[in-house]
Amino acid sequence: MTDARTTAQDQVDALEEVPPSLVQTVRDDLEHGRIEAIRAAVSDMSPAGVAYLLEQVPREERTQLFGILKRDLDPETLVELDDAIRDTVFEELDPSEIVEAARELDTDDAADIIEDLSAAEREEVLAGLPAADRAAIEETLAYPEGTAGRLMQRALVAVPDTWTVGEVIDHCREARDLPDDVYDLFVVDDQRRLVGAISLGRMLRTKRPVPVRDILDPEIPSIPVSAGQAEVAHVFRDQNLVSCPIVDEENRLLGVIMVDDVLDVIDEEAEDDLLRLGGVAQGDVHAPVIRTTRQRFWWLLVNLGTALLASAVIGQFEAELQKIVALAVLMPIVASMGGNAGTQTVTVAVRALAMGELTVANAARFVAKEVAVGGANGLMFAVLVGVVTWVWFHDLRIGMIIAAAMVINLVAAGLAGTLIPLGLKRAGIDPAVSSTVFLTTVTDVVGFVAFLGLAAIFLL
Amino acid sequence: MTDARTTAQDQVDALEEVPPSLVQTVRDDLEHGRIEAIRAAVSDMSPAGVAYLLEQVPREERTQLFGILKRDLDPETLVELDDAIRDTVFEELDPSEIVEAARELDTDDAADIIEDLSAAEREEVLAGLPAADRAAIEETLAYPEGTAGRLMQRALVAVPDTWTVGEVIDHCREARDLPDDVYDLFVVDDQRRLVGAISLGRMLRTKRPVPVRDILDPEIPSIPVSAGQAEVAHVFRDQNLVSCPIVDEENRLLGVIMVDDVLDVIDEEAEDDLLRLGGVAQGDVHAPVIRTTRQRFWWLLVNLGTALLASAVIGQFEAELQKIVALAVLMPIVASMGGNAGTQTVTVAVRALAMGELTVANAARFVAKEVAVGGANGLMFAVLVGVVTWVWFHDLRIGMIIAAAMVINLVAAGLAGTLIPLGLKRAGIDPAVSSTVFLTTVTDVVGFVAFLGLAAIFLL
C-alpha cells in the first residue's frame, strides 16, 4: 500500500517537467561548462518546458543557456516564452534566425513573436519570409490585439458542400500540408460561406458514398472576426468547443480558433483581473526592477491621494483628538474594517461582472444583498468592538460611538463596493483597475468622519 | 463602412446568448403567465444559456420558471448551474426525475450533480440507475474531489495494439454507444496498459491494412488518476492537449479527461485565487445573505485582530500623540502606503506561485527584486510625503520623520510581501487565503512603530 502510494506520488511529481532540482542541475552544468550534459537534459523537453527553464534562470545565465540551445531549438519555445523574457532572448538572435523560426510556426504564432520586434527588424523578418506567409502574418497583425482575428489560425480543412465523404477522405490523404490538430472539417458553399461542420469521428463512422451535406451539423456556432477575446472564451466555455470557425460579416470562413489558444486567453483574462485588483501590471514577475518600480508608482501615487484625503479629514478633528487621545488610538479600526468588508464586496462584484453573472437584470438585487450583508456583519462587529473599547478605556460612551460608526461604515462599504464597480463598468472603465481606490476613499472618509464626528457631537 | 461595422457589432452582440433584455422579457412573460412565449424563447438556447437564465432571475421566479421548463429540460442544464442555484432547483424535482436526468448524462457529470444530494436522496437516485452507470458513478465519487479521477470520463475508444486501421474503423462504425466527442483513439496491450494514441486525423489519412502499431504516437502524455486538478490543468496548458488519458499506477487506462472539463478547472482555480485574496468564498454571488454574512464574518474577525493590534501599538504612544496632534493626523499615511505596496507584491507572488513561475530556484532573486522595488518607491514617496508634510505643518522635522518611516515601511512591505506567501506555501498553507492578513499586520505595526517611534525619539 505504501509502495503503491509512493509510485502514485512519483507519477504526480513526474508531471512537473522541470522541477527546481533540474533547474539547479542545469545551472551547475552551465557554471562548469558541461554543454553536452545540458543538451542531453533539454533534448526531451517540450517547448513549454524549455521556455520555463529559460525563465527560471537569471539573465546572464539565460543568455549563455540560450546560446547553447538555440542551434536545435524548437521554434515553439519562442512562442511559449514570457514577453519580457522573449525580448532579452531575441537580442541573441540574428533576424535571419528569427525568419527561420517564423517559417516553421503557424502564422498566428509567428505573428505573435514578430509583433514584439522593432519596426526595422519586423520589416527585415517579414521580407525574409515566403510571400504567402508574409501576407498571412501581415493580415493577422492588421487585426487589433485581443480580437478573434488575431487569435485565429488560417490553416484549416474546408470542403465544398457538393463532395462525398469519400472525396473528403481522399483529399485528406493527398494533401500533405494538412494541420496536425484538425478535429472538425468545415463545409462551405461556392462563395466560401460557412454551411456547417463535420467532426472527424462522424467522418470516420460514415460510408464513403454519403454526401457531406447529409452528415454536416448546420447549427455549429461561429464567431465574427471582430469579436473580443473575452467573448471568444465565453463561447468556448458555454458550448464546450474544441475548435470554432471564424467568419466575416458575410459569413465567409476566414480561419479557426483552437481551444488551446483559448486556454491562454482564459489564463490571461483571469490574471488581468487578479493583478489589476492588486494594483499591478501583467508580466510583472519577469519585468526588471526599474520597470516594475515605475509601473507600481502610479498606483501607489493614487493611493497616496486617498491617504492624504483621509489625513485631511482627520485634521478637521484636531481639537477632539487633542482632548481625547483614545480617539486617535481607536480611529484606524473603523476605517480598516470598512476597507476590508468593501474589498470583499468589490472582489465578488468584479469577478461576477467579468463572468457575466452580474448584469443590469440583477444589479438591484445584488446591491440590496451586499448592503444587507454589510449591515448584518456591521451589527455583529459593532457589539464586539463596542465591548472591547468599553473594557479597554472604561468608557461606555466611546464604545457606543465606535459601535455606531462601525455599522455606518460597513453599510457604506456594501453600497460603495457594489455601486463603484457597476458605475465604472457602465462608464466603460475596467472595474478591476480602479474600484479599490475609490472604495478605500469612501470607507476611509466615512470611517473617520463617522467615528470622529459622532465623538465631536456626543463627547465634547 | 458604417453599415459593415454595425453588422459586426450586431454579430458580437448575438454571441451573448442571453442578453439582459431577454432576461427581462422572460420575467415579464412569467408575470403575465405567457408560458408558451417562455418555452419558445428558451427552446433554442444551449444548456449553459438556460442555466444562466435561471441564475439571473430572483428565487421565487426561478422556481416558477423551472417548473415551466423542467418538462423538456436538457439534463446538461443541471450540470451548468451554479451549485447554490442547483440546490434550490433540485427541491422542485422528484428523485425519479433526477434519476432520469442522470441517465442521460456522462457519468462524470452525473456524479457531479448527485454528489450535492443528501445521503438519503443520493441512495434513492443511485438505486434507480442501471447497474453499470451506478457502479461507474460510485467509482467516480470514490475519488477525492479535485483529482484527475473525479474529472475523467470513462467513455473512450481503446483498441488492442494488434489491430489494423481497417479493423478500428469497422469497430467505430459498428459500435453504437461511441462518445461524440472523441478526438484521439487509445491503443492498449492485452493488460489494458496504455501503449499510445492515434489522432482521428491520422486515422483518416491512413490506408486500411496498416497496423495501428505503425502509426500510433507512443510518447503521448498520460496523467495518474491521483493527480490534483491544478496539475491536470498544467499538463493540458503546457502540451496544448485536447484530451489526455488517465492511468493507474500500473499504467492501465482508466479514463480520459477532455479539454472542456479543464476549462472549468482553470476558471475555478483562477477564481479561487482571486476570491481568496479578496477574503471571500467561492459561490459567494449566488449564496443567500445569511450564508454570505457568516462566511465573510470570519475573515473580518481576523482582520479585526489586526486592527486591534495596530491600535494597541498606537496606544503605546499616547503621550506623544497628546503632545503633537499632527502625529495622529499623519499616522495612517505610512501604514496605508505600506499596505498597498505590500498588496502589490503579494498579488504577484500568489499568482506566480499558482502558475509555477515562482519556485525555490528563483525565490531569492524574487525577494531581492521586491525589496529593491520597495526601496526605490519608498525613496520617491518619502520625498513626496516629506515635502507635503513640511509644507502642511510647517515643520521640517516631522517631514523628515515621515519620510524615513515611509522608506522603512515600503522595504518591510517588499520583504513581508514575498516572504509571507513563500513561507505559507512551504508550510503547506494556501498563500492566497492568508497572505494579506499577515501582510497588513506587518505593514500596520511597522508603519505605526516607525513613524511614532521616530517621533518619540527625535521630537520629544
Please state whether beta strands A223-224 and A194-199 pair in parallel, antiparallel, or not at all (unpaired). unpaired
Cell output for B395: 515643520
Q: Is A169 on the interface with B (CB under 8 A)?
A: yes
Which DSSP string corresponds to A260-278?
A: HHHHHHHHHHHHHHHHHHT
Say if the Cβ atoms of B242 and A260 lie within 8 Å: yes
User: Residue A248: closest CA among chain B residues belongs to which residue?
Assistant: B8
pLDDT at residue A22 in the model: 87
Residues of B in contact with A277 (CB under 8 A): 274, 277-278, 347
Residues of B in contact with A60 (CB under 8 A): none
What is the DSSP-derived secondary structure letter of residue A153? B
pLDDT at residue A5 in the model: 37
The span from the CA of B284 to the CA of B293, in Å, is 10
Establish, for the pair of chains A and B, how many residue pairs have beta carbons separated by less than 8 Å. 385
> Strands (DSSP E) along A294-414, which ranges?
none
Q: Is A6 on the interface with B (CB under 8 A)?
A: no
User: Residue A275: closest CA among chain B residues belongs to which residue?
Assistant: B347
pLDDT < 50 regions, chain A:
1-13
The domain locations on chain B are: 2-143, 158-259, 289-459
Q: Nearest by CB to B361, which of A56, A183, A292?
A: A56
Contact between residue A417 and residue A385 where contact means Cβ atoms under 8 Å apart: no
Which DSSP string corresponds to B29-83?
A: HHHTT-HHHHHHHHHT--HHHHHHHHHHS-HHHHHHHHHHHGGG--THHHHHS-H
pLDDT at residue B177 in the model: 64
Say if the Cβ atoms of B307 and A337 lie within 8 Å: yes
Contact between residue A148 and residue A226 where contact means Cβ atoms under 8 Å apart: yes
Contact between residue A83 and residue A56 where contact means Cβ atoms under 8 Å apart: no
Give the CATH number of domain A2-146. 1.25.60.10
pLDDT at residue B15 in the model: 59
Say if the Cβ atoms of B204 and A385 lie within 8 Å: no
Of how many residues is chain A composed?
Answer: 460
Q: Is B200 on the interface with A (CB under 8 A)?
A: yes
Cell output for B226: 491521483
Say if the Cβ atoms of B347 and A385 lie within 8 Å: no
Contact between residue B168 and residue B142 where contact means Cβ atoms under 8 Å apart: no
Neighbours of B364 (CB within 10 A): 11
Residue found under cell 421566479: B61
**Chain A closest-CA separation from residue B267 CA (Å):** 7
Which helix (H) or strand (E) segment is B272 a member of? helix B259-277
Strand partners, A198: A185
Burial of residue A120, with CB atoms counted within 10 A of its CB: 0-12 exposed, 13-18 middle, 19 or more buried: exposed
Please state whether beta strands B194-199 and B223-224 pair in parallel, antiparallel, or not at all (unpaired). unpaired
Strand partners, A228: A147
Which helix (H) or strand (E) segment is A194 a member of? strand A194-199
Strand partners, A194: A188
Cell output for B172: 467505430
Contact between residue A165 and residue A156 where contact means Cβ atoms under 8 Å apart: no
Q: Nearest by CB to B333, which of A23, A307, A361?
A: A307
Give pairs for B353-358: CB < 8 Å, separation 24+. Answer: B353/B421, B353/B422, B353/B425, B353/B431, B354/B230, B354/B269, B354/B273, B354/B432, B355/A267, B356/A16, B356/A52, B356/B234, B357/A55, B357/A285, B357/A286, B358/A285, B358/B422
pLDDT < 70 regions, chain B:
1-16, 176-180
Contact between residue B452 and residue B330 where contact means Cβ atoms under 8 Å apart: no
Identify the architecture of domain A289-459 in CATH.
Answer: Orthogonal Bundle (1.10)
User: pLDDT digits over B386-395, tens only?
Assistant: 999 999 999 9
**Chain A closest-CA separation from residue B383 CA (Å):** 12
Q: Is A351 on the interface with B (CB under 8 A)?
A: yes
User: Residue B371: closest CA among chain A residues belongs to which residue?
Assistant: A289
Contact between residue A250 and residue A193 where contact means Cβ atoms under 8 Å apart: yes
pLDDT at residue B284 in the model: 75
Best interface-test mutation with B: which of A373, A377, A437, A438 has the largest number of B CBs within 10 A? A373
Name residues whose C-beta falls within 8 Å of residue B208's C-beta, 6 or more positions apart in sequence. Answer: B164, B165, B166, B169
Identify the architecture of domain B158-259 in CATH.
Answer: Roll (3.10)
* From the candidate CATH numbers 1.25.60.10, 3.20.20.70, 1.10.10.10, 1.10.510.10, the one assigned to the domain spanning B2-143: 1.25.60.10
Neighbours of A399 (CB within 10 A): 22
Residues of B in contact with A16 (CB under 8 A): 231, 234, 356
pLDDT at residue A213 in the model: 93
Residue found under cell 467505430: B172
Q: Is B299 on the interface with A (CB under 8 A)?
A: yes
Residue found under cell 441564475: B55
**Chain B closest-CA separation from residue A391 CA (Å):** 13
Q: Is A373 on the interface with B (CB under 8 A)?
A: yes
Q: Nearest by CB to B336, which of A274, A297, A307?
A: A307
Ramachandran quadrant class, B211 (left: phi over 0; alpha: psi -120 to 50; beta: rest) = beta
Please state whether beta strands B184-188 and B194-199 pair in parallel, antiparallel, or not at all (unpaired). antiparallel
Please state whether beta strands A243-247 and A223-224 pair in parallel, antiparallel, or not at all (unpaired). parallel
Identify the architecture of domain A158-258 in CATH.
Answer: Roll (3.10)
Q: Nearest by CB to B284, which of A15, A259, A348?
A: A348
A contact residues 72-131, partner B, Cβ 8 Å cutoff? none
The span from the CA of A144 to the CA of B140, in Å, is 44
pLDDT at residue A1 in the model: 35
Q: Is B393 on the interface with A (CB under 8 A)?
A: no
Contact between residue A189 and residue A249 where contact means Cβ atoms under 8 Å apart: no
Neighbours of B267 (CB within 10 A): 18
- Cα B85 to its chain centre, rounded Å, is 18
Say if the Cβ atoms of A329 and B321 lie within 8 Å: yes
Strand partners, A188: A160, A194
Contact between residue A296 and residue A365 where contact means Cβ atoms under 8 Å apart: no
Residues of B in contact with A414 (CB under 8 A): none
The span from the CA of A282 to the CA of B357, in Å, is 13
User: Strand, helix or coil at A9?
Assistant: helix
**Cα torsion B285, B288, B294, B297: sign:** positive
CA distances (Å), origin A244, targets A151, A235, B199, B235, B257? 11, 9, 19, 22, 20
Say if the Cβ atoms of A300 and B381 lie within 8 Å: yes
A contact residues 7-26, partner B, Cβ 8 Å cutoff? 7-9, 11-12, 15-17, 20, 23-24
Q: Is B422 on the interface with A (CB under 8 A)?
A: no
The span from the CA of A412 to the CA of B47, in Å, is 38
Give pairs for A46-50: CB < 8 Å, separation 24+. Answer: A46/A17, A46/B238, A46/B239, A47/A74, A47/A76, A47/A77, A47/A79, A47/A80, A48/A17, A48/A80, A48/B237, A48/B238, A48/B239, A49/A17, A49/A18, A49/B238, A50/A74, A50/A77, A50/A80
The span from the CA of A86 to the CA of B321, in Å, is 53
Residues of B in contact with A441 (CB under 8 A): none
CA distances (Å), origin B198, targets A105, A180, A208, B183, B284? 23, 11, 21, 9, 43
A contact residues 303-332, partner B, Cβ 8 Å cutoff? 303-304, 306-308, 310-311, 314-315, 318, 321-322, 325, 328-332
pLDDT at residue A177 in the model: 64
